[in-house]
């Protein structure tokens, strides 16, 4: 096994509330670190793993191959780090500069389905409900469980599969607070909705609209002040619903005017990865 010290740091960037501008003075410094794999890790196929490091829960380390996979799937946190600039990038390297210079290989309209599906789920959580499909049969449940166990699809892909399998079933919203943690339950009781989930949803929709219309995401977020107020329970439930609906409408309209391609350039993205790894590993031999 290779020690972490043998890995080259490609980049280190802020993530979470300090990137968005919604942080409090005592907020964690969430950091994303991207590593170039060592020779041993490439040979052993260990260059795609992810690790959580340090004491901060949201501080994560990605090997470069796994990071490319996340970008091609339009994972929101990976895209955020790719588009971070200035003081939001803690450390950089010539490799990172190459990746950023080729960001258009990764960015695509796949982000729309990714974020809208996630934001719908977060918004329902904010109000303590979940979408339930009525009258699902045991056979359908078994098929869905088998697909999960065998194929391990991404959540949004799994949601699409369930949607197709159960397209003729009735959908209803049902209470879902039983599995909520103490913090989320306290927010519901105090404010009538989950302030953290609501702020998270509104931020994501704003990022989505900006990215599709401009090919970029601004940090800190232009509406960080209202997002902070929502998180702190300073905005009424009715006003939050109004803000959410406006942001959702903007995101839907932005999809029809997107500057992004529908799919990333998979071939050129992986050519870039192979060229980076090949060039850098030659130096260590």
Q: Would the pLDDT of 55 be above 60?
A: no
Using CA atoms, how far apart are residues 15 and 60, in angstroms rounded to an integer? 10
Using CA atoms, how far apart are residues 160 and 154, in angstroms rounded to an integer? 10
The full set of domain ranges for the chain reads 4-107+264-284, 110-129+178-255, 135-169
The per-residue pLDDT for range 127-163, each reduced to its tens digit, is 888 777 777 888 888 888 888 888 877 766 777 777 7
Angle at 100 between CA 96 and CA 104, to 5 degrees: 150
The per-residue pLDDT for range 227-260, each reduced to its tens digit, is 999 999 999 999 999 999 999 999 999 999 999 9
Using CA atoms, how far apart are residues 154 and 252, in angstroms rounded to an integer? 22
The per-residue pLDDT for range 74-122, each reduced to its tens digit, is 999 999 999 999 999 999 999 999 999 999 999 999 999 999 988 988 9
Using CA atoms, how far apart are residues 77 and 121, in angstroms rounded to an integer? 17
What is the average pLDDT across 218-234?
96
Q: Which top CATH class is 4-107+264-284?
A: alpha beta
The model's pTM: 0.84
Q: Would the pLDDT of 67 be above 70?
A: yes
């Amino acid at each position: 096994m290779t020690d972490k010290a043998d890995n080259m740091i490609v980049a280190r960037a802020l993530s979470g509330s300090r990137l968005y501008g919604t942080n409090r003075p005592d907020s964690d410094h969430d950091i994303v670190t991207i590593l170039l794999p060592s020779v041993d890790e490439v040979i052993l196929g260990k260059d795609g793993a992810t690790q959580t490091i340090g004491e901060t829960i949201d501080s994560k380390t990605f090997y470069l191959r796994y990071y490319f996979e996340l970008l091609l799937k339009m994972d929101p946190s990976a895209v955020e780090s790719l588009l971070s600039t200035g003081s939001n990038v803690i450390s950089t390297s010539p490799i990172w500069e190459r990746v950023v210079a080729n960001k258009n290989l990764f960015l695509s309209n796949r982000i729309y389905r990714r974020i809208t599906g996630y934001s719908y789920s977060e918004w329902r959580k904010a109000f303590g409900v979940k979408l339930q499909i009525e009258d699902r049969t045991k056979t359908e449940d078994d098929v869905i469980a088998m697909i999960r166990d065998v194929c391990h699809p991404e959540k949004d892909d799994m949601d699409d599969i369930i949607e197709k399998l159960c397209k003729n079933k009735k959908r209803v919203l049902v209470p879902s607070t039983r599995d909520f943690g103490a913090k989320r339950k306290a927010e519901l009781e105090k404010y009538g909705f989950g302030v953290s989930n609501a702020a998270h949803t509104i931020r994501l929709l704003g990022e989505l609209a900006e990215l599709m219309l401009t090919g970029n995401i601004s940090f800190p977020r232009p509406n960080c002040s209202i997002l902070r107020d929502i998180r702190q329970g300073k905005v009424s439930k009715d006003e939050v619903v109004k803000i959410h609906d406006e942001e959702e409408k903007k995101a839907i309209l932005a999809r029809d005017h997107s500057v992004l391609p529908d799919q990333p350039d998979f071939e050129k993205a992986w050519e870039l990865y192979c060229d980076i790894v090949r060039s850098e590993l030659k130096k260590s031999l």
